Structure 1
């Protein structure tokens, strides 16, 4: 006989446990083992008044944000709705069945106030890094660095020409943050080039055509990762230009050394990080082997001799051409001494015009100029080391492992759905990138550390 429900009857008493209704393999249960927010209240204590009504528990707000970024819920309004309805989300946020979910506006008020003033989100992120180190997921020997473009929350149709500057009526928090970062090497001071377009609603976002897609406004998220298990060691928000990404790489390495006392032996990166000053900074100032392709434009496509065809004599500071003649830093005689290094950090080695006029290789060497000239960077020693490292097996391994950074960016955009920013301004990008990196590290530990091992370690 077919059964039939007679309608929902309210019971007088219920016995219900959220703990029993969250599956053992649920993502949030696996992540919860590694969420340590014990220091949040102490960290924020100086930013709260001793009088007045009690605020929303900051640990609840952080747990809700972790849920949003781990589960790809981009809207805070929708996040509040999901936490209200979803049992697993309630369990993770310690709300129970009848706990009140805060209004979505609470996030904005705290973000623009206490969270940014105290740099709380960075502290939460670094807590996950320390836990990754404790779980032995960080080798500390080989690091990788890269940057990825994230679209800004900007309507490109409302952009104005960059040479005209911001409209007089441009105002708002993002505009104030833009003006505050004009002297920051990661933003306004990263390049003297005037942007082609400016977005009045978020002028710090850079108009870029660095991808095959139609040009768009973007920020760069910069990751420094440990290559053993692709743990994100640091993250930095910058404007979307190469010079800013190099600045971010240096800041992240310095911060990791300062906060975690980790000094990597090797750094893998792409050619964008292979300019001479950056290679010299890694080698001479930090003692890090650059497993990075050298950024070099000395190769020639017209069949004439390239710089690699000239041998450098370190002992006498000169080049020897294929015909056996010398190229010296200066072939000119002057009463007043001339500086050999130009403003770009290069020394010009010139051949004698007399030698070039009678040389049998003239048409293959310098057919269009009176004498051959070779440019050599003052940091050529670091460039030579990078070229030598490129011939080793360790370099080949590091180059393969560097793709883990790109996989993290793919995960960031496809799984966590951070293909476009929701917040505006440099601080908004900073907040979103830190929370996303926190979520990725938590998901990494949930995947790699079995429950019984984590419990035993705790």
Structure 2
């Protein structure tokens, strides 16, 4: 039997509750338990005027941004439309059925003003880390560090040959931010090599082809995560060069110790972080075990002896060659002791021309030079420690745990949709990375911490 036709009927009163229409297993209901924004008004109070019309509630804007990043809604214009229509979004934003959704332009005005001036988004991310620590899902024993390139909002077809070719008149906000970070170790001062092209719309973005395929403008999203449950404990935006990524790792480790009191026993990373200076900083200055492959170019491919074929005598500070001759750092005493370290932190050990000239192994050692010379880093002790760790079973476990950070980057790009930045400039990259990391931590909490059953009444 066919049912009756549904006719629109306008009722005078409705009994409707948003709470009843949001499913118990909805993602936002699970996340809402861990979103505590009661302190936002105190943090932002110095940045509001005491007179004038009332502004949009900052807590409402933050909740809407969290919805956007947790649910992969990249456009703020579309976000406002979705919050207006979606009951679960209205429930999460505390709007009710008749609550007015702010205009999308409100986010831009507050982002470039109050939010950045107060560093609010950084504090929001740190609040998620503290929540993870309070729930006991941060171990603190081992950390993983890595970076992933995120495309900038800049056309690869348009670019200037150098920063000097940019038009200073009518410079955009992104250009002003680029000029402000020229001396920043994470951006302008990260490398002396000038980029091949500079984007006129976002000059701080780096022209790179490191990911393979066509080159494009990009930033690097640096994550420091805890290995126990892959909680992001720090995030940093840098230019897309390896030197900046290594510096960001040091910054994040130091900041995490100061902010949260977390100091790992071991750090897991790929070969890009295995430079002598980085390993020396970890071992000698921080006391952290480097579960990192050593970046080493001393192995020769022409059939002659490599440095590994020479034996280092630590007590006498010299090398012994395969022909049992000694390679010394200095062969005489100086009135003023000399370190003999070059600008790159390398020391030279040399054999004598007399020893090498009559040696039967010379064709396999130094066929084109009168005597053999070896280079040794001042951080070679830390490099040797990393090599010894690489032979252990714990290192094999660390290699498997390193995949957790790769999974987070895959989730960031495929599920949350952050494969390309929407905001420009270093500050825009920081804002997006902080919000995305906060969203991933909140989703992690929602997944790992079960909803507590209500206490029985009566």
Using structure 2 for the length normalisation, give the TM-score.
0.97
| 3-state SS of 2:65 partner | helix
Partner of 2:400: 400
The answer to whether the 8 A contact 2:163-2:203 is kept is no
Residues 304-343 of structure 1 aligned to structure 2 (within 5 Å): 304-331=304-331, 340-343=340-343
CA positional deviation for 1:41: 1.1
Could you report, residue by residue, the CA deviation over 1:35-70 in whole angstroms, capped at 9, with x for unpaired residues? 111111111111112222211110000000000000
CA positional deviation for 1:263: 1.0
CA positional deviation for 1:158: 1.2
Could you report, residue by residue, the CA deviation over 1:338-389 in whole angstroms, capped at 9, with x for unpaired residues? 6511110000111111111111111111111111111000111111111111
Mapped to 1, the partners of 2:359 and 2:83 lie a distance apart of: 80
Mapped to 2, the partners of 1:454 and 1:45 lie a distance apart of: 36
Matched, 1:192 2:177: no
The answer to whether the 8 A contact 1:331-1:351 is kept is no
Residues 7-406 of structure 1 aligned to structure 2 (within 5 Å): 7-162=7-162, 164-169=164-169, 171-331=171-331, 340-406=340-406
| 3-state SS of 1:315 partner | coil
The answer to whether the 8 A contact 1:170-1:201 is kept is no
| 3-state SS of 1:35 partner | coil
| 3-state SS of 1:302 partner | coil
Structure 1 pair 442/101, CA: closer, same or farther in 2 (3 Å)? Answer: same
The answer to whether the 8 A contact 1:222-1:238 is kept is yes
The answer to whether the 8 A contact 2:276-2:295 is kept is yes
CA positional deviation for 1:255: 0.9
Structure 1 pair 455/236, CA: closer, same or farther in 2 (3 Å)? Answer: farther
Moved more, 400-409 or 46-55: 46-55
Structure 1 pair 331/293, CA: closer, same or farther in 2 (3 Å)? Answer: same
CA positional deviation for 1:218: 0.1
Mapped to 2, the partners of 1:350 and 1:332 lie a distance apart of: 13
Mapped to 1, the partners of 2:410 and 2:101 lie a distance apart of: 32
Partner of 2:422: 422
| 3-state SS of 2:409 partner | helix
| 3-state SS of 1:207 partner | strand
Using structure 1 for the length normalisation, give the TM-score.
0.97
Mapped to 2, the partners of 1:64 and 1:368 lie a distance apart of: 69
| 3-state SS of 2:189 partner | helix
Equivalent residues, number = 456
CA positional deviation for 1:4: 2.9
The answer to whether the 8 A contact 1:163-1:194 is kept is no
Structure 1 pair 435/342, CA: closer, same or farther in 2 (3 Å)? Answer: same
CA positional deviation for 1:168: 4.1
Could you report, residue by residue, the CA deviation over 1:229-277 in whole angstroms, capped at 9, with x for unpaired residues? 0000000000000010011111111111011111110000001111011
Mapped to 2, the partners of 1:169 and 1:159 lie a distance apart of: 17
Moved more, 165-174 or 277-286: 165-174
Structure 1 pair 315/180, CA: closer, same or farther in 2 (3 Å)? Answer: same
Partner of 2:450: 450
Moved more, 112-121 or 42-51: 42-51
Structure 1 pair 169/14, CA: closer, same or farther in 2 (3 Å)? Answer: same
The answer to whether the 8 A contact 1:163-1:196 is kept is no
CA positional deviation for 1:165: 4.1
Mapped to 1, the partners of 2:53 and 2:163 lie a distance apart of: 50
Mapped to 1, the partners of 2:175 and 2:151 lie a distance apart of: 17
| 3-state SS of 1:130 partner | helix
Mapped to 1, the partners of 2:249 and 2:61 lie a distance apart of: 30
| 3-state SS of 1:197 partner | coil
CA positional deviation for 1:31: 0.7
The answer to whether the 8 A contact 1:70-1:416 is kept is yes
Mapped to 2, the partners of 1:417 and 1:346 lie a distance apart of: 45
Could you report, residue by residue, the CA deviation over 1:178-206 in whole angstroms, capped at 9, with x for unpaired residues? 00000000000000001100001100000
RMSD: 1.7
The answer to whether the 8 A contact 2:347-2:376 is kept is yes
Q: Which runs of 5+ in 1 are unaligned?
A: none
The answer to whether the 8 A contact 2:267-2:288 is kept is yes
